[in-house]
Amino acid sequence: MAAIAFFSLLLLLSSTPPVLGFTRSDFPPEFVFGAATSAYQYEGAVAEDGRSPSIWDTFTQAGKMSDKSTGDVAADGYHKYKDDVKLMVDTNLEAYRFSISWSRLIPNGRGAVNPKGLEYYNNLINELVQHGIQVHVMLSHLDFPQVLDDEYAGWLSPKIVEDFTAFADVCFREFGDRVSYWTTIDEPNVSALGSYDNALFAPGRCSDPFGITNCTVGNSTVEPYIAAHNMILAHAATTRLYREKYRDAQKGGVGINVYSSWSYPMTNSDVDIEAAKRYLDFVFGWILEPLVSGDYPDVMKKNVGSRLPSFTKSQSQVVKGAVDFIGINHYYSMYVNDRPLDKGTRDYSADMSLYQRASKTTPGSSKNIPSSSQSDPEGLQYVLQYLTKAYGNIPIYVQENGVASNDTLYDTERIEYLKSYMGGTLKAVRNGANVKGYFVWSFLDVFEFFAGPRSRYGLYRVDFNDDARPRQAKLSARWYSGFLKNDDIYFLNELDSTGSHALQ
């Protein structure tokens, strides 16, 4: 039956060629297409070659994931990166975005550089450069050394600004001759919440009644704002360092990443329209407004009050303008309607003063974690157009976009999803949005922060039940390869009868 189903699919695709309405050539020549992973989710080898534990090692090894999984091996990218770069060449990938494990490069959080960690990242970057793949580096993707959490509670202390900047300095010095695209921090607008409000992420701090579990340490009402504040200061200090010390010679740029979703008002009422605008101020403005204007959005200062840290005059001067590009991770849109501001103890979600839902038919919630979502490529288009207009035409990269699928090689739903969202990106470009690139999440199946190895976003399948972690090309990998080659039908001819053209 499987063979019949597969050949039926090929017959259907052959008789009805994919019609995108656009090709790779419709995007500007400088526009780049890529795919992404991150260190903890991809590398594994958590106790090898001098790497120290990160906060995610501690979190997962304590059984905090719902399925008790860990990233100890993950996709084993530490050992398989050369084979994976070959798959990237197979896929005609133009760019690859990965993150650097602070724990692997500087195990003590500061001070001595680990030679084995340095060797790994040099080798990975060299492989990419030798194959003509543009290198995009994320300095921190939700992880940092556990030793810094033990010493001063990580992002809750201003001490991390100096340590993070020193970590970035090592990366710029050692890799900057081959890397021009640096993103400092992944999703500070979500990681601050997941780590310090609801405890979904490491290090898992929260306070009742806001956590998903009964936390023994934390304060959900203030810690997310403190963490994000220090992330903004760390980003600004890092950007200033790069501009003063490296930019003239290396000709690169430094950006920051935010998690993004578009907001639709549930009704045309003034209060719901205002709620939709407030949503954008809390989601985007929280991180980006200081980097453009030097201060937080007025609505945040009003609703959060004294719990929102303030920038000193000198900090504001350093922060303002400290961004060369914006990276966004985008997956879905939200419908929002107004909700009276609670009088009692509030966290970030309550401060937003709205109900949100992933579709008009799902129940509304004051929380910002949807239980389900619907495909809405127009939402990505609107986000890109909004960011271009609201934040002064700063270049934008879609650094993550994708969808999870069942554990199958014939992921036609992912192909349709990617087609539609790439189409939404092109519409935004044609409408004047300053978009410079699009990256699929993820290049291969990785350890997902929400669901471990069960949730599969990859273009390539990874067998997590096999210690060798073999890779298999999914239909989406062949399709993406064909698109990037400007050949719509390419992937049909490349698949063999098993659908596993590329095996490692």
pLDDT score of 214: 85
pLDDT at 358: 85
CA atoms in the 13 A half-sphere facing the CB of 326: 31
Among 94, 223, 400, 448, which one carries the catalytic annotation? 400
In a domain, residue 17? The reply is: no
pLDDT at 8 (0 to 100): 34
31 assigned to some structural domain: yes
* Burial (0-12, 13-18, 19+ Cβ within 10 Å), 468: exposed
Task: Please indicate, yes or no, if residue 127 is contained in any of the structural domains.
Answer: yes
Segment 342-358, tens digit of pLDDT: 999 999 999 999 999 98
Whole domain around residue 447: which residue ranges?
22-494
Could you tell me where the beta strands, DSSP code E, fall in 236-361? 253-265, 325-338, 354-357
**How many C-beta neighbours within 10 Å does residue 466 have?**
8
Helix/strand/coil for 72: coil
Split into its structural domains, the chain has a count of 1
The whole-number pLDDT of residue 368 equals: 54
pLDDT for 174 beyond 60:
yes
Q: If you average pLDDT over every residue of the chain, what do you get?
A: 91
pLDDT value of position 367: 63
Q: Is residue 477 part of a domain?
A: yes
Give me the catalytic one of 187, 223, 289, 448. 187
Q: What is the pLDDT of residues 399-424, one digit of tens each?
A: 999 999 999 999 999 999 999 999 99
Helix axes 286-293, 188-196, angle to 10 degrees: 130
pLDDT at 329: 98
Bridge partner residues of 444 (DSSP): 460
What is the enclosing helix (H) or strand (E) of 381? helix 377-390
Q: Residue 9: inside a domain, yes or no? A: no
For the question of residue 119 being annotated catalytic, the response is no
The arithmetic mean of pLDDT across residues 120-141, rounded, is: 98
Domain with 201 in it: what CATH number?
A: 3.20.20.80
Domain annotation covers residue 85: yes
**What is the model's pLDDT at position 269?**
96
487 occurs within a structural domain = yes
In a domain, 501, yes or no: no
Say whether 187 is catalytic: yes
% of residues, the chain, pLDDT over 70: 90
